């Protein structure tokens, strides 16, 4: 039954009871009022007439008025006969009155008249008593029925008041509970209402909505699961190692390559705190360090492999929600690079011998004993000498580079004579400086601590800095060369007054093969990068300052030997 019908029926029932109560009340009140007016009309008036007649009876013989009053009242009485026997008594009264008129002195007539009047009085009084009893009964009936209806009304009202709110509120409560569950993504929630009203319809609609949401959720879940396994397959088939961490550094996933190189099974470490795993796993410890790792050499799967570490922050709403560590497998590139390094090393090494013999031959040609050389020939020989020196420089640089690349820089670090190192480098460049008429302003303090360095490599570096300074300086300029001890360090400074280096290239000049655009002088762009590698390998630093247009200052900082070894 529809809720609307239920409400209409309930309210109609209440209305019917109230109506019945009203009609019954009205009926009984009406009946009692009718009874009362009938008593008044039928009996009370008869009593009044007979009393009037009694009052004037004694005066009839003398007074004409009395006769008339009696006659009038008698006529009224004759018109108001209501009780059984009243008619006969009234007829008897008329008869006696007529007799009294014919014989007014007869006392017996008075007596009979009085008796008839008394009879009428008695009849009416009895009738009043009887009717009063009937009215009492009617009132009792009214009380009885009205009480029953009133009680019924109260009971129905109480039932109605008690039940009516729950008819509305119970399904509303269950529906709102259901909606709350759905909001909490519990799509299994259903509402079972027996009633077939609007709430029943609403519950059915709710259930079909929940079913649809459930289906949708499951189809979505299946889709997400499918996508997840697809991504897992892709990640697992990658040649790079991939490790996923959440924002609290718990392991989310580890692909097959990572499993191999870590030597751990994904199932054993998933969900674990990465730092806990790092306690027993060196590689994980290295990976968790924030340092930039150039290259990781890992022995896994019975072979040596090389990896690059790359950390990608996973962002959501501008917050880091995790990290993906990518271990790029660079073994093929590494192998190619190694082959290239070996090739360059072999070629440069092989070139050194013929270049050296060319130099030797040039020296022999310089000797007068080998024959006179004319001016043109001397010019040609000078050109060959320059080219040979350049070739030697290049092969030397290439060899040094291969040493750096293969990680085979062999250092023999010892407390070395600072002044001697600098002097070697200066002497090697005197000729070149003279050719450009460049003045070398040298400042070396008398008392200098020794420097902790590989003297050969350091000479090579200073030599390189000086030859650069000469090459990139104008003719007839000055180059300032100095050394000194500062805070347990030894500094070597080469300051030229050449063209200088534009600010945007200041950092780049230490990169391999980099040459400032527009530099026409010969060169490989390797010298400064090797200088940096050599100095840093000795625990030192190489710095550059340059005012573009006015010159450059290169400074090498190395550790000073303790004062005892002075």
Q: Does 418 bind ligand ADP (CB under 6 A)?
A: no
User: In this complex, which beta carbon is closest to ligand ADP, that of residue 83 or of residue 397?
Assistant: 397
Pairing outcome for strands 414-416 and 303-316:
unpaired
Site size toward ligand ADP, by CB under 6 A: 20
Single residue of 305, 429, 463, 468 touching ligand ADP by CB under 6 A: 468
Shortest approach of ligand ADP to residue 444 CB, angstroms? 20
CA distance 241 to 323: 14
Single residue of 32, 337, 515, 548 touching ligand ADP by CB under 6 A: 515
Do the Cβ atoms of 512 and 397 come closer than 8 Å? Answer: no
User: In this complex, which beta carbon is closest to ligand ADP, that of residue 405 or of residue 496?
Assistant: 496
The span of 34-42, 184-192, 306-314, 524-532 binding ligand ADP (CB under 6 A) equals 524-532
Q: Does 398 bind ligand ADP (CB under 6 A)?
A: no
User: In this complex, which beta carbon is closest to ligand ADP, that of residue 255 or of residue 464?
Assistant: 464
Q: Does 533 bind ligand ADP (CB under 6 A)?
A: no
User: In this complex, which beta carbon is closest to ligand ADP, that of residue 306 or of residue 472?
Assistant: 472
Q: What phi, psi does 397 have (nearest 5°)?
A: -65, -45
Single residue of 509, 542, 558, 560 touching ligand ADP by CB under 6 A: 509
CA distance 145 to 74: 43
Pairing outcome for strands 439-443 and 478-486:
parallel
Single residue of 178, 244, 449, 523 touching ligand ADP by CB under 6 A: 523
Single residue of 469, 479, 558, 561 touching ligand ADP by CB under 6 A: 469
Pairing outcome for strands 551-559 and 451-453:
unpaired
Q: Does 235 bind ligand ADP (CB under 6 A)?
A: no
Do the Cβ atoms of 508 and 529 come closer than 8 Å? Answer: no
Q: Does 296 bind ligand ADP (CB under 6 A)?
A: no
User: In this complex, which beta carbon is closest to ligand ADP, that of residue 257 or of residue 530?
Assistant: 530
Q: Does 10 bind ligand ADP (CB under 6 A)?
A: no
Do the Cβ atoms of 72 and 66 come closer than 8 Å? Answer: no
Three-state SS annotation for 49-104: HHHHHHHHHCCCCCCHHHHHHHHHHHHHHHCCCCCCCHHHHHHHHHHHHHHHHHCC
Q: Does 498 bind ligand ADP (CB under 6 A)?
A: yes
User: In this complex, which beta carbon is closest to ligand ADP, that of residue 25 or of residue 525?
Assistant: 525
Shortest approach of ligand ADP to residue 556 CB, angstroms? 13
The burial of 512, by beta-carbon neighbours within 10 Å (0-12 exposed, 13-18 middle, 19 or more buried), is given as middle
Three-state SS annotation for 363-403: HHHHCHHHCCCCHHHHHHHHHHHHHHHHHHHHHHHHHHHHH
User: In this complex, which beta carbon is closest to ligand ADP, that of residue 309 or of residue 532?
Assistant: 532
How far is CA 133 from each of CA 28, 130, 260, rounded to the nearest angstrom? 15, 5, 116
CA distance 12 to 16: 6
Q: Does 524 bind ligand ADP (CB under 6 A)?
A: yes
Single residue of 306, 424, 460, 472 touching ligand ADP by CB under 6 A: 472
Q: Does 395 bind ligand ADP (CB under 6 A)?
A: no
Judged by the rule CB under 6 A, the positions of this chain that interact with ligand ADP are 468-469, 472, 496, 498-499, 501, 509, 514-516, 519, 523-529, 552
């Amino acid at each position: 039954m529809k809720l609307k019908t239920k409400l209409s029926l309930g309210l109609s029932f209440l209305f019917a009871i109230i109506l019945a109560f009203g009609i019954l009340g009205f009926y009984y009140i009406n009946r009692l009022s009718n009874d009362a007016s009938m008593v008044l009309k039928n009996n009370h008036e008869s009593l009044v007439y007979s009393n009037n007649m009694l009052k004037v009876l004694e005066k009839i013989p003398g007074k004409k008025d009395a006769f008339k009053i009696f006659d009038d009242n008698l006529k009224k009485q004759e018109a108001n006969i209501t009780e059984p026997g009243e008619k006969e008594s009234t007829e008897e009264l008329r008869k006696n009155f007529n007799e009294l008129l014919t014989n007014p002195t007869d006392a017996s007539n008075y007596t009979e008249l009085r008796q008839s009047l008394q009879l009428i009085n008695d009849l009416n009084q009895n009738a009043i008593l009887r009717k009063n009893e009937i009215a009492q009964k009617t009132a009792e009936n009214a009380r009885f029925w009205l009480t029953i209806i009133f009680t019924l009304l109260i009971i129905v009202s109480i039932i109605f008041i008690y039940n009516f709110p729950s008819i509305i509120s119970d399904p509303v409560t269950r529906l709102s509970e259901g909606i709350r569950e759905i909001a909490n993504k519990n799509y299994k929630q259903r509402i079972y209402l027996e009633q077939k009203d609007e709430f029943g319809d609403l519950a059915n609609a709710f259930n079909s909505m929940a079913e649809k949401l459930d289906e949708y959720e499951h189809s979505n879940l299946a889709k997400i699961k499918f996508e997840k396994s697809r991504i897992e397959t892709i990640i697992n088939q990658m040649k790079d190692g991939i490790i996923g961490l959440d924002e609290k550094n718990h392991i989310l996933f580890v692909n097959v390559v990572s499993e191999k190189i870590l030597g751990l099974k994904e199932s054993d470490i998933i969900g674990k705190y990465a730092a806990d795993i790092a306690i027993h796993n060196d590689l994980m410890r290295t990976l968790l360090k924030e340092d930039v790792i150039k290259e990781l050499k890992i022995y896994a799967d019975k072979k040596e492999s090389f990896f690059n570490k790359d950390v990608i922050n996973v962002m959501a709403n501008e917050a880091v929600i995790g990290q993906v560590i990518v271990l790029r497998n660079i073994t093929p590139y590494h192998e190619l690079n190694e082959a290239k390094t070996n090739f360059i090393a072999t070629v440069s090494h092989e070139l050194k011998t013929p270049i050296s013999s060319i130099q030797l031959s040039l020296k022999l040609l310089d000797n007068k004993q080998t024959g006179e050389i004319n001016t043109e020939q001397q010019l040609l020989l000078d050109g060959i000498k320059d080219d040979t020196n350049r070739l030697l420089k290049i092969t030397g640089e290439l060899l040094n580079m291969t040493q750096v690349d293969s990680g085979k820089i062999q250092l023999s670090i010892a407390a070395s004579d600072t002044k001697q190192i600098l002097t070697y480098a200066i002497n090697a460049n005197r000729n070149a400086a003279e050719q450009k008429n460049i003045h070398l302003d040298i400042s070396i303090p008398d008392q200098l601590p020794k420097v902790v360095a590989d003297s050969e490599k350091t000479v090579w570096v200073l030599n390189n800095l000086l030859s650069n300074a000469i090459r990139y300086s104008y003719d007839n300029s000055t180059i300032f060369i100095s050394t000194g001890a500062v805070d347990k360090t030894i500094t070597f400074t080469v300051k030229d007054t050449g063209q200088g280096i534009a600010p945007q290239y200041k950092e780049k000049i230490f990169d391999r093969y980099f040459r400032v655009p527009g530099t026409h002088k010969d060169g490989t762009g390797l010298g400064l990068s090797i200088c940096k590698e050599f100095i840093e390998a000795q625990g030192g630093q190489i710095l550059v300052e340059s005012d573009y247009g006015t010159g450059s200052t290169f400074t090498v900082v190395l550790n000073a030997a303790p004062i005892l070894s002075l």
